[in-house]
Amino acid sequence: MALKATIYKLQVELADMDRNLYGDYSLTIASHPSETEERMLVRILAFALNVPPNNDLGDLEFGKDICDTDGPSLWQRDLTGQVEHWIEIGQPDDRRLMKASGRAKQVSVYSFSSSTAIWWAEVATKITRARNITVWQIPAEQSKALSGLAQRGMKLQVTVQDSIVWVGDGTRSIEITPIRLLAAQ
C-alpha cells in the first residue's frame, strides 16, 4: 500500500516591510511522504517571500513538484495560463532551470542544503544565458531550525525587514538571512 501525503493547515501572518505588503493567508499543504519538514517549511518561506501584492497576474500556488517532475514547487500563472513566476525548492539541475526559464517570465530557486556550494559551483556557469533566474541560498543551520516549527496545524508570523526574515509561531522565532547567489537581469 502506498503512503499518503500528510496534510498541513496553516495561517501565515505576513508583514513584509521591504515590499510594503501585509496580509493573512490560509494555506493547506499536502506534504509528500518523501518530503522532509525542512523542505516543506522552506516552501512556506518561499511562498511568503514571493506572494504577489494582488492577484492581477494570478495567485501564487503550490505545485506538485515531487509527484510531477515537470512542475515547479510554487508558481504564479496569469489568467491566460502564462507562467509569471516559477519557483524551485532544492537543487534543480541546469536543464530543469533552463526549461523553466523558457516557460516563465521569472524563475526563483531556494536552495537550503549544506551542499548548496557544491551544487552551485556545478550549475552556475551552465545557466548564465538565462537572464530571468534568481538563486537564493537559505543557510542550512537556519533551515534546520525552521523545520522545528512544523506542526499539522500551524499559525506562523513572518516578518521581513531589511532582507532579514523572522518566522515565529508565538513561542519561538527563527531568523533567516537569505543569500542571493544570482540575480535576474
What domain range is 127 assigned to? 6-182
pLDDT, position 4? 83
pLDDT, position 68? 64
Asked, for residue 176, whether it belongs to a domain, the answer is: yes
Asked, for residue 138, whether it belongs to a domain, the answer is: yes
Beta-carbon contacts of 170 under 8 Å, excluding residues fewer than 6 positions away, are 155, 157
pLDDT, position 56? 83
Q: Could you list the pLDDT tens digit for every one of the 185 residues in the chain?
A: 567 888 999 999 999 999 999 999 999 998 888 889 999 999 999 999 999 998 888 899 998 766 567 789 999 999 899 999 999 999 999 999 999 999 999 999 999 999 999 999 999 999 989 999 999 999 999 999 999 999 999 999 999 999 999 999 999 999 999 999 999 98
pLDDT, position 30? 87
Asked, for residue 1, whether it belongs to a domain, the answer is: no
Cβ atoms 50, 42 nearer than 8 A: no
Domain count, the chain: 1
pLDDT, position 141? 97
Report the distance separating Cα 185 and Cα 174, nearest Å: 31
pLDDT, position 2? 62
CATH code: domain of residue 139: 3.10.640.10
pLDDT, position 20? 97
